[in-house]
Amino acid sequence: MLTNDASLGTNNSTFEVAAATTSVLLGALLLRFVWSSRRFSHLPQPPPSSFLFGHAFDALGSVANWKTSGNYPEPFLSWIQKYGGAIYYRTIFNHNVLLSYPVALQHVLVSNAANFPREDVSRSFFRDIVLGDGLFSAEGKQHDQYRKLLNPLFTTSKIKTFIKTFHRQTQIYCQNILEPACNNLEPVNFANVSHPWCLLISLAIVFTRLTLSIVGLTVLGFNFDENPSAIEAYEQSMIQMSPLMMVGSYVIPGFTSFPLPTLLKRRKAQYTLKKILMQIIQDKLAASSSDHPKHLLDMILTNSSTEEAVSRTVTFMLAGHDTISNTLSFVFGMLVLHPDVVAAVRAEYSRVALKHGSLTTWEAVSELQYTYAVIQETLRLNAVAIAILARTSVADDHIPMVDGSTVFIPKGTIMQVNFGAVNRNPTYW
């Protein structure tokens, strides 16, 4: 009996010590959180929807719901209009400042950029997407090296060489998909594409497949249209953003490695995509070294290891395919609302096509000035990249405001810029 009592006393003592230790740790974390939040008391902030998550679902959750809510670019535009050019908001334990004044953006992104490197979680997120370190995840000298390597691939002279490919693939998709859908009253069976579409077509899907086809041919020398498994692997390797995925990916370190069913399926697709790309690269390397580079991957391989070539190729695919397909979707969405603009675009096309015979030359495309202006205005109103990669201040700083004053920014602050809100700010537009 004495032994049992002694054992019970020991267990109670252990529990009390553990409870006390936990209380001290939680208390210390709470005090640290309260103290760190007070450092931003001089900045205006919108009321958070959650004590625990702060503005996480107000900000990131809203972004994930834009496609269904049609509320783009809220809440950021309303915040800027109500609270000004430097706004504090919290995403769980992360302290963010949303900037919108041009002078502040210049300070963070140009004048004092050394104090504002890309934020670690964002870099890790893009490192995971492109299957390694790439332009979006690199920092400092490594980023400069990537820019030096990739810049020649985006020159006007290089893009000119792909005009005929752009034209040919667009014609194929128009003839095989869009024209039958417009001319038939019955559902259309597209047996020559990986997913059959009927009369009611999602242009977003068409544009996604078209641009992926073009990027595959110009970057890799690979025909995605003839390899539906490759299309499926690429599409499933991209994260489908829900509020949970948006908050987790941009706030929680290592979130994409969590054993969630959606993420497990995605990692399987990433493995398949990497295997396909490795095979393409091996075939390229096995080809005669005397061959003149035919595709962008040939140029990449001259200055890259195999692993680097994979990440740089996925970077090209992401930047070239995703941005262009989104731009096309936005442009057509805007044109539906402005029939007078549609008429002007068609008139310009007819004039240029009559003069040059087609749009297969750079000279012909460069004459589509009105169409180019429509695209530019569409991109102002609908940014394909919703924000810059977040920056983190490595030291205390004072950021200039439009009225000549400055705002104190503590070390460790995450700096955010939302392009949609900036481009629609009525102060400037």
- In the predicted structure, residue 334 carries a pLDDT above the cut 80: yes
Cα–Cα distance for residue pair 244/392, rounded to 1 Å = 23
**Partners of 409 in the beta sheet?**
397
DSSP secondary structure letters along 150-177: HGGGGSHHHHHTTHHHHHHHHHHHIIII
pLDDT score for 240: 73
User: Tell me: the pLDDT tens digits for 205-231?
Assistant: 899 999 999 999 988 889 999 998 998
The angle that helices 261-286 and 306-317 make with each other, rounded to 10 degrees, is 120
pLDDT score for 196: 46
pLDDT score for 197: 44
Cα–Cα distance for residue pair 361/162, rounded to 1 Å = 10
From the list 314, 295, 282, 269, the residue with the least C-alpha distance to 127 is 314
- In the predicted structure, residue 264 carries a pLDDT above the cut 80: yes
Q: 391: how many CB neighbours lie within 10 A of its CB?
A: 22
In one letter, which amino acid is 322? D
Burial state string for 111-147 with b = 16 or more CB within 10 A and e = fewer than 16: ebeebbbbbebbbbbbbbbbbbbbbbbbeeeebeebe
Q: Percent of the chain having pLDDT more than 70?
A: 86
From the list 19, 87, 2, 29, the residue with the least C-alpha distance to 425 is 87
Cα–Cα distance for residue pair 404/387, rounded to 1 Å = 25
Average the pLDDT over 142-158 and give the result: 80
Chain mean position to CA 107: 23
What angle is formed at CA 153 by the lines to CA 152 and CA 157, rounded to 5 degrees?
80
Cα–Cα distance for residue pair 381/178, rounded to 1 Å = 26
Average the pLDDT over 398-403 and give the result: 96
Do 274 and 310 meet the contact criterion of CB atoms below 8 Å apart? yes
Structure tokens at 120: 């670690």
The CATH homologous superfamily to which domain 149-337 belongs is: Cytochrome P450 (1.10.630.10)
Do 255 and 233 meet the contact criterion of CB atoms below 8 Å apart? no
User: Tell me: the pLDDT tens digits for 161-194?
Assistant: 889 999 999 999 998 888 877 776 554 444 444 4
pLDDT score for 386: 83
pLDDT score for 16: 62
Tell me the range of 33-37, 266-270, 318-322 where mean pLDDT is highest: 266-270
Do 266 and 189 meet the contact criterion of CB atoms below 8 Å apart? no
Do 23 and 387 meet the contact criterion of CB atoms below 8 Å apart? no
Q: In whole angstroms, how large is the CA radius of gyration of the chain?
A: 26
DSSP secondary structure letters along 59-91: HHHHHHHHHHH--TTTTHHHHHHHH-SEEEEEE
Q: For strand 414-416 and strand 406-409, is the pairing parallel, antiparallel, or unpaired?
A: unpaired
Q: In terms of pLDDT, which residue wins out, 7 or 391?
A: 391
User: Tell me: the pLDDT tens digits for 31-51?
Assistant: 566 667 789 999 999 999 988
Place of tokens 């210390």: 28
pLDDT score for 179: 82
Q: Where are the domains of the chain?
A: 1-38, 149-337
**Partners of 50 in the beta sheet?**
54
Cα–Cα distance for residue pair 87/132, rounded to 1 Å = 33
In Å, what is the CA distance from 260 to each residue of 97, 123, 126, 239, 272? 31, 21, 19, 12, 19
From the list 196, 194, 199, the residue with the least C-alpha distance to 183 is 199
Please tell me the least confidently modeled range out of 1-10, 141-150, 403-412: 1-10
From the list 218, 219, 184, the residue with the least C-alpha distance to 201 is 184
Q: pLDDT band for 21, please (50, 70, 90 cuts).
A: low
Q: For strand 414-416 and strand 94-99, is the pairing parallel, antiparallel, or unpaired?
A: parallel
Q: Is 243 exposed, middle or buried (0-12, 13-18, 19+ CB in 10 A)?
A: middle
Please tell me the least confidently modeled range out of 45-54, 161-170, 192-201, 287-296: 192-201
